[in-house]
């Protein structure tokens, strides 16, 4: 796919490099005071594998993994992160399963799907930490917006008044975006299984596919929703934080085998990514430097202005409305982002069951305990002096008013009016 107009950042490579080297040196110096010198990097805690290939998809929320490498935080913990750009989530899944990738910036629901053998081959998987909350969106085509479909209720009206096959895209069948799109449609009375067609499109190809009329709407991570507005082909109907404030999104994922074989390596990478997460959220200027770095061709390959507005919480919907969103994409938020809550993982399983991807109820809690590496995360967080919540479950109210707390997942999954 050709790069969008203005895909190259106007910042010369040299100045970007200087800018980031300066930022990295300052960040490492600043953090040295609150971290044990060379933590986990010596003796029995030495990383077993020193070079770690981490796959990522060109999305703003790959930033903590990329910045851990760019700013050199990885070296501090005795590892070298090699970020590898992947074309699709199916490709990420396959390379994780066959060992070509050690870890990945990956969709929460993809990890759970692979673990249970839905959406691909079955393999024991692990979630090391959550990488971000919020910051995805549902985009509707400009053509649909011109007919009056600008949010969920008006979309339902337009679809009822003009019957045809409406096509919406997610990024992977068991992934976060497919689940947000299903949930959002159903919350507005549209059955995503019988009342619409759902297709899978890799994130960087969403805008091009909408431009040629392949879909009426999509759910994807940034910067592709904002890119659709900049290119004049889509509008933002809802952000995903409207669906679920501080929802889990991407995770640092790997296989169960990798954690068993290389626990010190896993912990070292988690610490480097935690430090990068903290660095990004620490200031507006760090966020701007991050946008500069990840916009580059080797990472997201788009213009900086497609990234930097929404990470600062400055939103526009493409129809003249602008707002400041306090629940924009967060990478650290005093550690609240990164803890791998069991209830977060279990929620994706409830939706897999709701939409018929799982035929029977799994043992929700047992699966989450097997996948989410709570103990390893606590070790990394403790060494970094990052606060950890007391409870492995959390409570949230979603867009339809239904509360999720992880206490009775079977009842929750079966309780929706619109389901498979």
pLDDT digits (tens, 9 = 90+) for 160-191: 999 999 999 999 999 999 999 999 999 999 99
Residue 14 confidence (pLDDT) above 60: no
Are 178 and 237 found together in one domain? Answer: yes
Are 89 and 153 found together in one domain? Answer: no
SS3 content of the chain, % helix, strand, coil (to 5): 45, 15, 40
Is 3 contained in some domain? no
Residue 300 confidence (pLDDT) above 50: yes
Are 56 and 100 found together in one domain? Answer: yes
Are 69 and 99 found together in one domain? Answer: yes
Is 95 contained in some domain? yes
Residue entry with tokens 């995503």 = 192
Domain limit, last residue, from 243, 265, 296: 243
Is 17 contained in some domain? no
Are 239 and 350 found together in one domain? Answer: no
Helix locations, 295-373, DSSP H: 304-311, 342-354, 364-371
Is 89 contained in some domain? yes
User: Sign of torsion, CA 24 30 33 34?
Assistant: negative
* SS3 label, residue 8: coil
Segment holding 410, helix H or strand E: helix 409-414
Residue 39 confidence (pLDDT) above 80: no
Segment holding 290, helix H or strand E: helix 284-294
Is 398 contained in some domain? yes
Are 290 and 210 found together in one domain? Answer: no
Write the CATH number for 141.
3.40.190.10
Residue 40 confidence (pLDDT) above 80: no
Domain limit, last residue, from 225, 243, 261: 243
Per-residue pLDDT, 19: 53
167-170, strands of its sheet edge to edge: 197-200, 167-170, 217-221, 136-141, 234-239
**Percent of the chain scoring above 90 in pLDDT:** 89
Residue 295 confidence (pLDDT) above 60: yes
Distance CA 87, CA 1 (A): 11
Per-residue pLDDT, 23: 57
Per-residue pLDDT tens for 186-229? 999 999 999 999 999 999 999 999 999 999 999 999 999 999 99
Are 206 and 294 found together in one domain? Answer: no
pLDDT band at residue 41 using 50, 70 and 90 as cut-offs: low
Number of domains in the chain: 2
Buried b (16+ CB within 10 A) or exposed e, 292-323: bbbbbeebbbbbbbbbbbbbbbebbbbeeeee
Are 128 and 142 found together in one domain? Answer: no
Per-residue pLDDT tens for 260-281? 999 999 999 999 999 999 999 9
Segment holding 406, helix H or strand E: none
State which residues form the domain around 90: 51-133+248-316+329-415
Is 291 contained in some domain? yes
Is 27 contained in some domain? no
DSSP E strands: which ranges in 230-312?
234-239, 250-255
Q: Note whether 170 and 198 are within 8 A (CB).
A: yes
Are 142 and 204 found together in one domain? Answer: yes
pLDDT band at residue 318 using 50, 70 and 90 as cut-offs: very high
Domain limit, last residue, from 213, 243, 273: 243
Are 301 and 374 found together in one domain? Answer: yes
Are 253 and 373 found together in one domain? Answer: yes
Q: Which two tokens stand for residue 205?
A: 């190809």
Residue 28 confidence (pLDDT) above 60: no
pLDDT band at residue 44 using 50, 70 and 90 as cut-offs: confident
Are 404 and 291 found together in one domain? Answer: yes
């Amino acid at each position: 796919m050709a790069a969008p107009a203005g895909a190259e950042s106007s910042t010369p490579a040299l100045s970007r490099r200087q800018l980031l080297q300066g930022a990295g040196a300052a960040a490492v110096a600043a953090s040295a005071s609150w971290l044990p010198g060379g933590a986990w990097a010596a003796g029995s805690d030495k990383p077993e594998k020193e070079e770690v290939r981490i796959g990522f998809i060109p999305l703003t929320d790959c930033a903590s993994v990329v910045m851990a490498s760019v700013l050199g935080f990885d070296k501090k913990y005795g590892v070298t992160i090699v970020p590898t750009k992947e074309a699709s989530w199916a490709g990420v899944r396959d390379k994780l399963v066959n060992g070509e990738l050690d870890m990945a910036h990956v969709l929460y629901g993809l990890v759970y799907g692979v673990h249970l053998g839905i959406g691909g081959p079955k393999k024991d998987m692990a979630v090391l930490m959550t990488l971000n909350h919020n910051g995805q969106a549902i985009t509707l085509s400009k053509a649909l917006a011109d007919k009056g479909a600008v949010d969920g209720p008006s979309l339902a009206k337009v679809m009822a008044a003009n019957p045809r096959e409406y096509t919406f895209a997610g990024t992977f069948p068991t992934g976060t975006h497919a689940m947000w799109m299903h949930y959002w449609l159903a919350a507005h009375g549209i059955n995503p299984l019988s009342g619409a067609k759902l297709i899978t499109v890799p994130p960087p190809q969403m805008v091009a596919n909408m431009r040629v009329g392949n879909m009426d709407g999509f759910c994807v991570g940034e910067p592709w929703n904002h890119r659709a507005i900049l290119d004049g082909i889509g509008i933002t109907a809802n952000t995903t934080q409207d669906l679920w404030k501080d929802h889990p999104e991407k995770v640092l994922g790997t296989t169960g085998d990798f954690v068993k074989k290389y626990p010190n390596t896993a912990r070292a990478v988690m610490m480097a990514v935690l430090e990068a997460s903290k660095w990004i959220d620490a200031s507006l200027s760090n966020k701007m430097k991050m946008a500069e770095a990840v916009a580059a061709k080797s990472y997201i390959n788009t213009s900086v202005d497609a990234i930097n507005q929404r990470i600062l919480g400055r939103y526009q919907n493409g129809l003249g409305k602008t707002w400041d969103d306090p629940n924009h994409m967060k990478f650290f938020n005093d550690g609240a982002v990164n803890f791998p809550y069991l209830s977060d993982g279990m929620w994706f399983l409830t939706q897999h069951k709701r939409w018929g991807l799982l035929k029977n109820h799994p043992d929700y809690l047992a699966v989450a305990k097997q996948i989410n590496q709570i103990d390893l995360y606590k070790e990394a967080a403790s060494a970094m002096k990052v606060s950890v919540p007391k409870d492995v479950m959390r409570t949230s109210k979603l867009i339809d008013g239904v509360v999720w707390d992880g206490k009775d997942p079977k009842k929750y999954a079966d309780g929706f009016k619109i389901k498979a």
